[in-house]
Structure 1
Amino acid sequence: MIRRITFSVVFFCVLLSPVQQAHAAGPWAAVIKAAVKKVVKAVDLMIQRRQNAVIKLQNAQKALENAMSELKLKEIADWVGKQRDLYEQYYDELKKVKSVIAYYFRVKQITQKQMQIVEQYQKAWQIIENDAHFSAAERLQMQRVYSGILQETVKSVDLISAVVKSFSTQMSDVERLEIIDKAARQTESIFSELTSFNDRNRILSLSRAKSQQDAQITKALYGIQ
């Protein structure tokens, strides 16, 4: 809640200040990068903990099996009960590990795309800042669009964060998959919107080239062969 309030304050101040607007998307880019890294780290730790739990149960099972030869007949029933309980815990933990790993690859794909959004924005904005074909007013409007795109990306990152946190709650697999699918759709839509916006800006810049030399310089700026 505190983080969202902070985001709102930052964005409100940006809207009030035309000078600051030129860098409005900067904080959002940093927020996305930090959040994505946090999500990936949390999932990695979760997998490690689950795997450690499985190893611990495997070691306990071996200890019980080694003790089997020393048991008396009347102790066999008790040993079987312990073994049954241990297997139940083992397979439960193993199921959790497999579940987390399965989700991990979906989450990783989405977070990679979210990072690509940030990187594409940063690359595009660096070019636009050096493109003489755009006026200050046009750059201001472009940055507003980029800010909106990155804000939507933050929302998709929040969905992925909710999935990671759900492993410590009673959320069902169906609910997790629904959230992951929603985040994937949102991220793909945002990426497509960003790509289209960058393409339109590039085409507009090229259309304003006043000479063949100007066009060549513009193509070099945008990495066009």
Structure 2
Amino acid sequence: MKKLSLTLLLTIAIIIAPTQRSHAIVWVVVKAAIKKVIIAIDLGIQKQQNKVIWLQNAQKTLENYMSKLKLDEISDWSEKQKAQYQKYFDELRNVKLLISYYQRIKDITQKETRIINEYKRAWNLLKNDTHFTAKELDYMEKVYNGILDETVKNIDQLTMVINSLQTQMTDEKRLEIIDKTSGKVDENYMDLLLFNRQNAMLSLQRAADEADINRVKSIYSLK
């Protein structure tokens, strides 16, 4: 967690300095942070799934044992045995819930990765587009920095939820954070796509002739 926090702080510090070199570094650092989160989630899912298999096997064994008992023997069960049996069901339910959390967080994190990839693709095109002035590119850079800053904040929220799976945070609170982060990521992604398209259309409007128009359409995948 400390290493990831340092990575996020480094990312934020880099974002503050709006230079072309910083964009390349930001992309590498943020994507590395996202990759760490995804790997952690994959390991978490695998670990919890293994636990589910073990618990299901234990549950099956207990059920088989119960099916062989006579009714009078079942009625003689001690409270401790009943509690132990119930414990398996409760644990199985909790572990399955954790897996659903992990999967949702992974889905959100992969959206973050798409944001980074889309940002890199668009910025590489824009900074080499002669239809834009240096001042316009500087403005675009600031907008992208803002989008990347939000990406870092979302990663931080996801990391907090991952860590909370080992704490006493309530399920309601976890779901609230996950839902809120998911909404922000979707909004962030749509803002990025809209900004990219606006810039592409502006470049198309400034195309000098038919050949230039076709070139811009091809570069930005416009129809």
| TM range, smaller chain | 0.7 to 0.9
Aligned counterpart, 2:14: 10
1:24 to 19, 22, 25: 22
Going from structure 1 to structure 2, the CA distance change for 1:26 and 1:89 (only over 3 Å counts) comes to farther
Note the residue ranges of structure 1 that are not aligned, 5 or more in a row. Answer: 16-20, 70-76
Which portions of structure 1, spanning 4 or more consecutive aligned residues, are displaced by more than 6 angstroms? none
Going from structure 1 to structure 2, the CA distance change for 1:81 and 1:51 (only over 3 Å counts) comes to farther
User: Is the Cα–Cα contact under 8 Å of residues 108 and 182 in structure 2 kept in the other structure?
Assistant: yes
Amino acid paired to 1:185: G
Q: In structure 2, what is the Cα distance between the partners aligned to 1:123 and 1:139?
A: 15
Aligned counterpart, 1:208: 206
Q: In structure 2, what is the Cα distance between the partners aligned to 1:187 and 1:27?
A: 21
User: Is the Cα–Cα contact under 8 Å of residues 113 and 187 in structure 1 kept in the other structure?
Assistant: yes
Aligned counterpart, 1:195: 193
Aligned counterpart, 2:140: 142
> Within the alignment, does 1:96 sit opposite 2:94 as a pair?
yes
Aligned counterpart, 1:167: 165
Cα distance, 1:180 vs structure 2: 0.7
Note the residue ranges of structure 2 that are not aligned, 5 or more in a row. Answer: 69-75
Q: In structure 2, what is the Cα distance between the partners aligned to 1:38 and 1:118?
A: 15
CA distances 1:56-76 after superposition (whole Å, capped 9, x unpaired): 45666749x88xx9xxxxxxx
Aligned counterpart, 1:126: 124
Which has the higher mean CA deviation after the structures are superposed, 96-105 or 43-52?
Answer: 43-52
SS at match of 1:23: helix
SS at match of 2:96: helix
TM-score (norm 1): 0.79
Going from structure 1 to structure 2, the CA distance change for 1:39 and 1:32 (only over 3 Å counts) comes to same
Count of residue pairs the alignment pairs up: 213
Going from structure 1 to structure 2, the CA distance change for 1:200 and 1:58 (only over 3 Å counts) comes to closer
**How much identity, in percent, do the aligned residues show?**
41
CA distances 1:118-168 after superposition (whole Å, capped 9, x unpaired): 111111112113322123332232122111111111111211111111110
Which has the higher mean CA deviation after the structures are superposed, 114-123 or 98-107?
Answer: 98-107
Q: In structure 1, what is the Cα distance between the partners aligned to 2:6 and 2:45?
A: 29
Note the aligned Cα RMSD (angstroms).
3.0
Q: In structure 2, what is the Cα distance between the partners aligned to 1:204 and 1:49?
A: 50
SS at match of 1:210: coil
User: Is the Cα–Cα contact under 8 Å of residues 29 and 118 in structure 1 kept in the other structure?
Assistant: yes
